[in-house]
Structure 1
Amino acid sequence: MYSQKQKLSLFLLPKQTANKSSMEEMIRRYGPLAPKRYRYSELKKMTSSFKNKLGEGGYGTVFRGSLQDGCGVAVKLLKGSKGNVDEFLNEVISIGRTSHVNIVGLLGFCLEGPKRALVYEYMANGSLEKYIYLENSDLVIEWEKLQQIAVGIARGLEYLHQGCSARIIHFDIKPQNILLNQDFCPKIADFGLAKLCHLKDSILSTAEARGTIGFIAPEVFSRGFGVVSTKSDVYSYGMMLLEMVGGRVNKERENTENSSDAYFPNWIYDNIAEQVQSCEVICDLEEDMRKMTLVGLW
């Protein structure tokens, strides 16, 4: 039995060594462009043993932390990280090479056995979600600022789709994944579902549906509606604009008896006048609301 274990270890060791060598080569190839690599022990230290949880999603848990110089960071521990190491590193390095005022900054990563994490810049005002829904009326921001945020998100998407060396399709554009800094400048975050493709490619092949119900484009979960491309992100952006205008969660309409009434764009279109009146906004802002609604419907 000892002999069998010895043979097995001899078989696995070269494979593990090769994987590690491949990983180190990828990091070395990108040189100073690669995000900083942290040890897991360093993540524990910067987050005080993951003491302050900022949020949790389907793909990981985010903790507040700080670097040695006092700079605030958000550390996201990924769940179920058993995928391809090269693919993980490709995404980390590609996203790390992005530089845009409307894309959250990736400062570093951790890849230590099964432990994988991402270190992002800390965003003081959290996600857009808590500022647009009526139940958080104390936090709802004015329409002029909301329009600025919408434009900023659009600029960030345009950069991901056309301004990077590799085209990045996000696949999960929604209010929860838009973070706001201390000046309420929006930054697209959470690239856990993102896919990379060459700039010359306009169509992406995916094996599975990805995204969030209510924002996911029809062609992403059924090829009968068309092909998956950057337009899939544009659809999600449009649905998010309607959320921003309506201040309602899409799923609240699911229990409506008439299915056509439950379709959120129809509900927005039919109720925009009532929304404008209830907000008692001036004419210029009323026009801004209508523009945002029309762009969302388009």
Structure 2
Amino acid sequence: MGVTRVRTREEDRPAAVAPVAGHGPGAGGGDVPAPRRDVVRRLRTPRRPRIRFEILLIAISYWTYSMIRNAVPEQKAQALRNAEWIWELERVLGIAAEQSLNHAANGVTWLIVSMNYYYATLHFVVTIGVLVWLYRRHPGRYSAARTVLFATTAVALLGYYLYPLAPPRLMETVRFVDTVQVHDTWGSMASGNMANVSNQYAAMPSMHIGWSVWCGIMIAVLAAPLWVKVLGWLYPTVTLLVIVCTANHFWLDAVGGVLCLGIGFAVSRAWYGAPAHRLPRLVPASP
């Protein structure tokens, strides 16, 4: 007669997340004291995020990002020279199509106005939306994914400081249409009084691309429905078209944004020991 095995309550409980290799008790830690190793291990072990801490962290981080980005010396003359160099390089590479796309889109008023508002709003709305979705549906992966975003932005700030770059719309030797000014886009950081308090010469790298590609990857890799995955890949594609048609960025600014994102993914993987999508979706709550 076969024996029926009864599952216990212990077996039904979620398994605890295993410590990161090389940082658990008994692991080789050289001269690092055990208490310090335990602290590092706890920091590197994914746990369910706490809502108040995350809201505070995001608010402080964005405030710091805005303050540092706008405090970077604008260096207008150097920024314009760099824009000339980027434009000439793109002409040599045969990819300098931004001017044609800018003029074509500007000829369709409803299209270019929609692009202006897309550029001014979705950059923040979609990114915050993806963070909230990760927090609610993938709590075990949230911290690693959020670290990618933060590290990417930190690298971008270094780029703004070291390489001031005027966007195409502010170039003086090439005729681009400044679509935000022409169509008076409300709420844009590049129009009205807002243009006086934001750094207009921080185009390289493009965080519209860095953040949108991050959103697209998170959605495409972690979402279940196929149509949602497709939207994930479409979002950075449309964003690329928007930043070029509105003359806010060159193609190469987008390349810079993707390179920053690659560094962000590398930092997160080095800290957590695995990319976000390979970490457990559900984890124990923070103590």
Give the TM bin, normalised by the shorter chain: under 0.3
Between structures 1 and 2, the one with greater helix share: 2
Q: Which has the larger radius of gyration?
A: 2
Task: State the TM-score, normalized to the length of structure 2.
Answer: 0.25
TM-score (norm 1): 0.24
* Higher strand proportion: 1
Larger RCO (CA within 8 A; separation ≥ 6):
2
